[in-house]
Structure 1
Amino acid sequence: MELAAWLIFLLPLISAVTIGIGAFRSKPISAGISIAAVVGSFILTFVMVATGSEFPDGQGPSPKVSWLQLDGLSVDIGLKIDGLSKLMLCVVTGVGSMIHIFSLGYMKEDRDFSRYFAFLSLFIFSMLGIVLADNFVMMFIFWELVGVSSYLLIGFWFDKPSAADAAKKAFMTNRVGDFGFLLGILMVWAAFGSVSFDILEKEKATALCGLAGFLIFCGAIGKSAQAPLHIWLPDAMEGPTPVSALIHAATMVAAGVYMLCRVFFLIEGTWAMEAIAWIGGITSLMAALMAVQQDDIKRILAYSTLSQLGYMVMVVGLGGETNSDYYKITNVAGTDAAMFHLTTHAFFKAMLFLGAGSVIYACHHEQDIWKMGGLCRQMPRTYWTFLIGTLALCGVPLFSGFFSKEAILTVAYKESMPLFLIAVAVAVLTTFYMTRLFLVAFCGEPRSKHAEHAKESPVVMTVPLLILAVPSVVAGYFNMHAPDPLILFASVIAVVFGALLANSIYRNATDDPLPVRIGFIARAMKARFWFDEIYQWFIDKVQERLAKLADIIDRWIIAGLLVRGAHGSTELAGRVLRLAQTGNLQTYAFWFAAGLAAVMVFALS
């Protein structure tokens, strides 16, 4: 198992390097290497889980390697294998394998096919590094590597200006959150003298834990796209659709939630928990409202991801006691519920994104749902799998999303009634916008020539959909619990109400009637509450003026007054003193005598 653990981690890196250095220019060979690596990692993960291999008390799968030795800081490289990391390994490698296979069909005509698979392998390697890291420094390194590889994938079509801009936006926005993450790590090191998770878990909490925990959470705000750093995620749709599935479903955006669960011992019982819960709740509600008025099929799913991530972050912040020990992560229900929903969400959201990719592929890259319609007849396999994903996301009973959503609602109901009400409202909105998407895109009559002539996607693209449909239904049964009758009633009513409301509005609609009915509210949701405009105004009106002021201070005060002034005054003093250097001995004797007399007068007085 020691070798297996390292191979899970290193196989995607070997794949990325092999393809990246150009050893294989052939499309089939490049894809084969990449797929073999991620599938191999998945098989090894499955074997590890099936055999119950676990290394408690910080004992990694192999001796730790000393990597960095500084005064007061020792950093080792080792892999942390426990229930939490094994669960996440299954998600990353399992969903990643399906996305790799789907990409064979979706990207087959792309001229940079090999480069695409090299970047995919690099991304998977980076994500596995976060999952298996046993200390903050190692996690932060791979955290940044995920940022770099996501930049490469989002901007994969870099000759397209919107894709290049989206990649830069994602990269820069995440740097803001990562700066807070780095400050939090430094604060933890200063307080405890260690960055190892195993050592820190045994330390007693200090007054700094709340602030350090919140700063570390800033990294999750960026990576998991929580407000106010959520603006990059919808623009990330400019990348290839399988990339959207990889980033939005199982890997990058889930990294923030995973990190919170991994370091929960740091924030438990501090003021940071309440802040985390409210940021997650507000993000969840805000993103759900934004999704209601989006027309791009990928952007609807992107805002849905934002909303569901808010769910997960909220429940981590709420905490709460639990009697369940299924995951054996911590003794807090919040992290159990968050990881449960992260797992089920990864499967059905990946399927939804790949289903959207199948639709876009069949409709000649049309993404506007109002230019689709009637696809249920032309694309039966995509239709049925998309329906399963929609039902799971809405939390319809018997589907996986129902059980994980119930776990979140249960914790929210016990810990915070305001956040419970927000969670129920989000459940209504989720059902509403997903029913809207499904009815407009798949039902009715075709509303464009592309939709009218659409055909089912190739088998290599539909097989991953069918495989992902299975855990989208059954994954929830691995952590069944008896829900509170009141919570169950509220959940079912939310689903029914949202579905009926959307059906009454969009059943036979040829365009969206909401802008006419609710006016300004609809415009606000469609404009994403003008967050991008507000940030742009801040940059234009505030940041640029501050930059000009800083330039003036630097140019005229620092460089001018201080630097040039000091230089000028020194030069002037030198010229004045040079006048005294006449070379005449009598003059020197006179000034010496005068100076000596002055000193004597001063001393006697």
Structure 2
Amino acid sequence: MNPILFIVFLPLLAAIVGGLGNRALGNTVVKSITTGALFLSCALSWPIFLKFIGGSAEASVTPVLQWVHSGGLEFDWALRVDTLTAVMLVVITTVSALVHLYSWGYMDEDPDQPRFFAYLSLFTFAMLMLVTADNLVQMFFGWEGVGLASYLLIGFWFKKPSANAAAIKAFVVNRVGDLGFMMGIFGTFLVFGTVSIPEILHAAPGMAGSTIGFLGHRFDTMTVLCILLFIGAMGKSAQLGLHTWLPDAMEGPTPVSALIHAATMVTAGVFMVCRLSPMFHASPAASSFVTFIGAATCIFAATVGTTQTDIKRVIAYSTCSQLGYMFFAAGVGAYGAAMFHLVTHAFFKALLFLGAGSVIHAMHHEQDMRYYGGLRKQIPWTFAAMTAGTLAITGVGIAGIFGFAGFYSKDAILEAAFASGTEMGRFAWALGVFAALLTSFYSWRLVFLTFFGKPRWDQSEHIQHAVHDAHGHDSHAHDDHAHDDHTHANHAHGDGTAGYHPHESPISMMIPLGVLSLGAVLAGYVFAPHFVGLEGATEFWKGAVVVDTHLIEAAEHIGAWSLAPTIVMLTGLFIAWYSYIRNPGFPAAFVDQFGVLYRFLLNKWYFDELYDVLFVRPAFWLGRQFWKIGDIGIIDRFGPNGAAWVVAQGSRAATKLQSGYLYSYALVMLVGLVGAVSWVIAR
């Protein structure tokens, strides 16, 4: 049997068994089944990818079943495997398998582990269905499936109001993007008469220059279709405007953040744009729009990331920023570079998120970096892993010798943007270089605040709870004073440890960190010639994405401009070192001097507040009008409540006739008889 069937459907089978078996099977059995299924899928995926790397594989389509045959709309359920799919298969199954294993330790004390592992496996199946889609409807099925799984996992701890709110926010914001995606699919079927991806991509270049009626005007056909499809990608991949859900999604368990909101689901938009690259390549206007949104997101998220104190939110905004890089790479035509950064980013961002989870685990669920410090001696393996991830994301390396993963992929994107020669490309390059400086700053800021300096654990309420519980104190009594001034704690524990000793995570959490560290260190060096090399890219991609060899060649000859990413990386590192190691008082002085700018960035450019005024409050007001006036005042009043009132009044009148006296009943009967006879005579 074709291994692709096992790769895709094993996670679904594991999700069904784990979800229905749940507590009847027990934690260990469910975890073993789901994790084993994912590792088997991963083991089957790598040989397929390596065959494409070696050049011995060809694209194939595996039919599963007939789906819809209705008039001119015909499509079947089939699994397409080409180079692009093979790349996504190894990313999804590898990260998902490692996250399943990591969750053995991280979720060990959670009472709902079977449900959690079933949700993880369900997500993996939906993501695999998305990337193996042979038609747009099947892609949309996977698209909505990962949205459902994201909703379920963000709100996994459903007893937390903040988790429920974050899950609903993610679901609603993505529905906005999905409306654009659906309209793009409808328009594509209208124009091409098919939803088959190969047929659409074959015909796309021939549609260049044609127009289509939209909103009462005539527009370029491919521009309209591509922008509508890209709106879907903006929602799923948290691009500027539809980005507000991603930071709030950190309410879910940390393994969820690593798998869905850093490595796989959020890259679905990038995958979709690259899969449909011939369509976008046929529309310079749509490509410029993608470039602009990607560059704007890149710089927006990087600026916000510099002010966040929650360790997971820093990495979340970093994800948002890195996705911007991928999109503006696709916008300038460097689809191979976009996919290359998707792969390297999956490794080092999953590593950073799982490393952050290890820190949070060690610090008794404290997520505020201001209460960390000095942890490199307490949790040295986590420190080593997060340092590897930071070296990768900041792009440390020496050209021609060796570099960490991000050094190859991010530099390839920036070089392609500069070499594109367009105004939008140069604009994206300038913002991308500045974002690289900010990325270096906030990434090293995270490392320095967490692992260096004096311990500040005694100021953490979470740690105080842990210490009190460990000494047998009544934690509920302590809750009444949880928000007291920390001065007493500082004096009581002058060594800064508050009697608490952070510990390294269990082996099930450390193995994934080790494997991902290898990816963060070596993935760029090993795969660069195939993904973005002048000689290897065309042979590797084999038409799965558009490969512009002229752009690749131009990117290799931009001269000294290629040093810009390295220079800004070192600048960001120096600023972070000076601010948090050499002169720790500098950040406070900066905030005092530039308080307005700091508050603007800390409040995320006030997007949430703006959307609250423009959309949330009017929507709630309109909902209240429909509820109070329409539903209660009209429908209930004149409908069920009105009918009940008429019946009640009628019953009250009837009770007056039920006197219990025989002569009253005789009188009624006589009146009725007279009325009946009178009616007959009148007829």
For Structure 1 versus Structure 2, the TM-score category normalised by the shorter chain is 0.7 to 0.9
1:291 aligned to 286, 300, 305, which one? 305
SS at match of 2:345: helix
Question: Which residues of 2 match residues 584-595 of structure 1 at below 5 A?
Answer: none
User: What is the match of residue 244 of structure 2?
Assistant: 231
Shift of 1:488: 2.9
Question: Which residues of 2 match residues 219-368 of structure 1 at below 5 A?
Answer: 219-270=232-283, 271-319=285-333, 334-368=334-368
Cα RMSD of the aligned pairs, angstroms, is 2.2
Letter in 1 for 2:594: I
- 1:429 has 2:438 as partner: yes
- 1:509 has 2:589 as partner: no
Aligned length: 541
Contact 2:578 2:584 in 1 (8 A): no
Letter in 2 for 1:20: G
Summarize deviations over 1:219-271 as a string: whole Å, max 9, x none.
11000000100000000000000000011222110111011100111221311
Shift of 1:352: 0.3
SS at match of 2:239: coil
1:550–1:272 distance in 2 versus 1, CA, 3 Å: farther
1:448 aligned to 457, 461, 464, which one? 457
Contact 1:406 1:487 in 2 (8 A): no
User: What is the match of residue 7 of structure 1?
Assistant: 6
Question: Which residues of 2 match residues 562-581 of structure 1 at below 5 A?
Answer: none
User: What is the match of residue 473 of structure 2?
Assistant: none
User: What is the match of residue 571 of structure 2?
Assistant: 497
Letter in 2 for 1:149: A
Shift of 1:512: 4.5
Letter in 1 for 2:566: V
Summarize deviations over 1:499-539 as a string: whole Å, max 9, x none.
11121112152794242232111111100011111111113
SS at match of 1:80: strand
1:150–1:545 distance in 2 versus 1, CA, 3 Å: closer
1:276–1:466 distance in 2 versus 1, CA, 3 Å: same
1:528 aligned to 604, 607, 611, which one? 604
User: What is the match of residue 601 of structure 1?
Assistant: none
> Unaligned stretches of 5+ in structure 1?
320-333, 560-605
1:283–1:137 distance in 2 versus 1, CA, 3 Å: same
Contact 2:370 2:449 in 1 (8 A): yes
Summarize deviations over 1:461-492 as a string: whole Å, max 9, x none.
11111111111011111214557442332111
Question: Which residues of 2 match residues 78-117 of structure 1 at below 5 A?
Answer: 78-117=78-117
1:459–1:414 distance in 2 versus 1, CA, 3 Å: same
In the aligned structure 2, how far is the partner of 1:404 from the partner of 1:483? 17
User: What is the match of residue 596 of structure 1?
Assistant: none
Shift of 1:25: 2.8
Letter in 2 for 1:528: K
Contact 1:223 1:253 in 2 (8 A): yes
- 1:519 has 2:595 as partner: yes
Contact 2:68 2:75 in 1 (8 A): yes
User: What is the match of residue 414 of structure 1?
Assistant: 419
Summarize deviations over 1:110-151 as a string: whole Å, max 9, x none.
000111100000000010011101100000011101111110
Of 198-207 and 10-19, the range deviating more from structure 2: 198-207
Letter in 2 for 1:533: E
In the aligned structure 1, how far is the partner of 2:390 from the partner of 2:414? 19
User: What is the match of residue 528 of structure 2?
Assistant: 479
1:127–1:362 distance in 2 versus 1, CA, 3 Å: same
In the aligned structure 2, how far is the partner of 1:505 from the partner of 1:9? 48
In the aligned structure 2, how far is the partner of 1:190 from the partner of 1:251? 31
2:410 aligned to 398, 401, 405, which one? 405
Shift of 1:50: 3.4
Question: Which residues of 2 match residues 142-161 of structure 1 at below 5 A?
Answer: 142-161=142-161
Shift of 1:318: 1.2
Shift of 1:349: 0.4
Contact 2:96 2:259 in 1 (8 A): yes
- 1:195 has 2:195 as partner: yes
User: What is the match of residue 588 of structure 1?
Assistant: none
User: What is the match of residue 19 of structure 2?
Assistant: 20
- 1:464 has 2:477 as partner: no
1:510–1:123 distance in 2 versus 1, CA, 3 Å: farther
Letter in 1 for 2:571: F
User: What is the match of residue 664 of structure 2?
Assistant: none
Contact 1:276 1:314 in 2 (8 A): yes
- 1:538 has 2:614 as partner: yes
Contact 2:392 2:406 in 1 (8 A): yes
1:272–1:32 distance in 2 versus 1, CA, 3 Å: same
Letter in 2 for 1:11: L
Of 540-549 and 76-85, the range deviating more from structure 2: 540-549
Summarize deviations over 1:516-574 as a string: whole Å, max 9, x none.
2321111111000111111111135544566678899989xx99xxxxxxxxxxxxxxx
Contact 1:370 1:510 in 2 (8 A): no
Shift of 1:400: 0.8
1:14–1:547 distance in 2 versus 1, CA, 3 Å: closer
Contact 2:291 2:328 in 1 (8 A): yes
In the aligned structure 2, how far is the partner of 1:510 from the partner of 1:362? 27
Contact 2:579 2:585 in 1 (8 A): no
Question: Which residues of 2 match residues 176-191 of structure 1 at below 5 A?
Answer: 176-191=176-191
Contact 2:372 2:455 in 1 (8 A): yes
In the aligned structure 2, how far is the partner of 1:280 from the partner of 1:383? 31
1:546–1:407 distance in 2 versus 1, CA, 3 Å: same
SS at match of 2:377: helix
Identity, % of aligned positions: 44
Contact 2:102 2:509 in 1 (8 A): yes
Summarize deviations over 1:364-416 as a string: whole Å, max 9, x none.
00000000000100000000110010011001111010000111011110122
Contact 1:261 1:316 in 2 (8 A): yes
In the aligned structure 2, how far is the partner of 1:275 from the partner of 1:13? 37
Contact 1:65 1:77 in 2 (8 A): yes
1:517–1:439 distance in 2 versus 1, CA, 3 Å: farther
1:34–1:499 distance in 2 versus 1, CA, 3 Å: same
Question: Which residues of 2 match residues 49-68 of structure 1 at below 5 A?
Answer: 49-52=49-52, 54-56=57-59, 59-61=60-62, 63=63, 65-68=65-68
In the aligned structure 2, how far is the partner of 1:200 from the partner of 1:427? 36
Letter in 1 for 2:90: C
Contact 2:74 2:194 in 1 (8 A): yes
Of 404-413 and 504-513, the range deviating more from structure 2: 504-513
In the aligned structure 2, how far is the partner of 1:464 from the partner of 1:546? 49
Contact 2:262 2:316 in 1 (8 A): no
Shift of 1:443: 0.4
SS at match of 1:375: coil
Contact 2:250 2:313 in 1 (8 A): yes
1:552–1:121 distance in 2 versus 1, CA, 3 Å: closer
